Chain A
Amino acid sequence: MITEFYTFFEKSPFKSFLGLNTTMDFSLVHQNCFKMFLPEIFLATSILTLTLYSVFIGSSRNLGYPLIIKNLNKLCILTLFITFLIINNSSVFSLLAYQNTFVFDLLSSNVKQILVVATILSLVISEDSVVRQQINNFEYLILILCAVLGLMFLVSSYDTLSLYLAIEMQSLCLYVLAASKKDSSLSTEAGLKYFILGSFSSALLLFGISLLYGITGTTNFDNFHLLFSGIGFDNFSFAPLIEKALLAISAAFFFKIAAAPFHMWSPDVYEASPTSSTVFFAIVPKIALFTAFLRIFQIFLSGFEEIFVIVLIFFSLCSVIVGSFVALRQKRLKRLLAYSSISHVGYLLLAFSSNSLEGVQSLYFYLIIYMLTSLCLWSIVLSLNTKANLTKNKTLLDLGSISHSNASLGFTTLVAFFSLMGVPPLAGFFAKIEVFLSALGSSLYFPALIAILSSVVSSFYYVRLIKTMYFEKKEEETSCIPVNHSCSLIMSLCLFFLIYFFVNPNFFLLLTQKMALCLF
């Protein structure tokens, strides 16, 4: 169909009218690029259409200024579902498109599928919460779609410029999402904090990119690959400068994924932004950021292995230790989960630092299992509602005696926490053991030991939560508001995956194996 369109254009009167006398057959050159970009093009067009739809309906006086947020939520889910189908439908082969600024391969299409599915699920579980928190601006959902579009560009970016632009696109959307509850001072503060620290890290990223450009004269990953493969860096006089550029880029990356000691923004932003936005922050962006930076680091890792592995291990151990020890003192549920996500980023970086195929595979494996578990946990956080605490931030006490008031919710929470802890028959155990085995395989004995010991510390606060749920009696028995259907459906699906994984782990193992192979 695309070809037909362009042959139509080639014959159309526009061409003679504009005096276009190109000899190149444009239709052949860009045909594949357009085909590969179809999901993004569809999503972008739908964003424009949905904006127009909601602004015309929402500000229509004849209809009485209706609230369209629930309606729009369904439409967004539909849009993302069709995007998922289009990604599924595209025949995957490795292709560099648009002057090598974008890459399309199995890795990018798989990560895009995971991103879209995770967004759909987080939209489904946070639907009630959006209505309950009275976020009536339809822009909220449009911005989520824009963030997904930015993340999809990020996943397939193959040039530092497109990488930077995609990161900016997604993070600008996330800043506004954090501040989307305009009448709450906490939410605006979270948005401002996120904005200032995020733009600082973007500046670092840009600094590193400009240094790299200054040294090599190119911004393209393909050219970097050609420049840096197979030469000895000891004879290269610019090697120290390249190291500094890479340090700046990795610092920006650690900011974005909230690895300690660059983690300070994440608990504040997680706690103060509306819970529905926090769900999106916590589940979706990490896998895209990891993919983009794996692409860039994979080029340089061969040449700068010693310094890079040390940096990665430092950040990984910092995150694991900070995440485990600081979480012991947290009283609010969202802060606790933020610190727990910092410690999990530490395990991911440990897998990354082992610098092998198994390492990258275990990273993706851990990431997918972690996304499933946190999806389960956040839907639990969203459904811990009693009449008294409906609009408040949840504390750990809200989990108290949940096993009595809602036994199945209690059991789901128990399984999710055990899986995060890494207790054997559950999926989290396999994820952790893959990470530790890949670290041991690259003879990182000491870092693996520290990470295992910190994971013991972190299991203390998970167990304490389980004790609160099962063995502590609340003074006054409060009845829970029943969990809504979509939330309970997704919780039970996640629960099924976490348990069923023991029986048949092949699907995720094969998927992550294929994804990791694309990088080597």
Chain B
Amino acid sequence: MDYFSILLLLFVSIGLACLILGASYFLGVQLPDTEKSSVYECGFDPYEDSRNKFDVRFYLIAILFIIFDLEVLFLFPWSVSLSYLSSMGFWTMMDFLFELTVGFVYVWKIGALEWE
């Protein structure tokens, strides 16, 4: 009985998803062409030789994304439990954010975020 609300949420979300997808499928105007019906894969042709060279900049962006995304992830538990923490906990996070900002400034100034 405890999980009834979750079951309800599951049914509602499935129903809502079907409703939205179905509405756009039946009501929308459809004029397919080659560009529209091709697979979208961030600039690559999905059906070619897998041993292709591709740009190292993709890796760079991915690594930077992972670093900043994961570091920001630490903020959620901290902000939820902030009222239980001592000033030590507060200042530790401030220090962490400061170092993160230094890293961000470094990445920005060195030009790693520019695609060209």
Contact = CB atoms under 8 A, between A and B. Distances in A.
Nearest to A29: B88
A31 B43 CA distance: 55
Contact of A52 (B87, B88, B105, B111): B105
B53 interface: no
B86 interface: yes
Contacts of B106: 51-52, 55
A130 to B, nearest CB: 19
B71 interface: no
Given A18-B83, A19-B83, A59 B109 contact: yes
Interface in A33-65: 48, 51-52, 55-56, 59
Contacts of A59: 109-111
B86 A22 contact: yes
24 contacts: A6-B87, A9-B87, A9-B91, A10-B87, A18-B83, A18-B90, A19-B83, A20-B83, A20-B85, A20-B86, A20-B90, A22-B87, A26-B88, A30-B88, A48-B99, A48-B102, A52-B102, A52-B106, A55-B105, A55-B106, A55-B109, A55-B110, A56-B109, A59-B110
Interface of A: 6, 9-10, 14-15, 18-20, 22, 24, 26, 30, 48, 51-52, 55-56, 59
A30 B86 CA distance: 12
Contacts, number: 38
A20 B111 CA distance: 41
Contacts of A10: 87
Q: Of residues B85, B90, B106, B111, which shows the largest number of chain A Cβ atoms within 10 Å of its Cβ?
A: B106
Contacts of B91: 9
A48 B109 CA distance: 14
A51 B90 contact: no
B72 interface: no
Interface residues of B, number: 15
Given A26-B87, A26-B88, A59-B109, A18 B102 contact: no
Interface string B72-104: 000000000011011110110000000100100
Interface of B: 82-83, 85-88, 90-91, 99, 102, 105-106, 109-111
A396 B41 CA distance: 55
B92 to A, nearest CB: 11
A97 to B, nearest CB: 13
A26 B82 CA distance: 16
Contacts of A30: 88
A14 B90 contact: yes
Given A20-B86, A52-B105, 9 more contacts: A6-B87, A15-B87, A18-B83, A20-B87, A48-B102, A52-B102, A55-B110, A59-B109, A59-B111
Contacts of B102: 48, 51-52
B83 to A, nearest CB: 5
Nearest to A54: B106
A358 B66 CA distance: 50
B64 to A, nearest CB: 15
Contacts of B99: 48
A24 B86 CA distance: 9
A26 B83 contact: no
A41 to B, nearest CB: 10
Contacts of B83: 18-20
A51 B100 CA distance: 13
Contacts of B90: 14, 18, 20
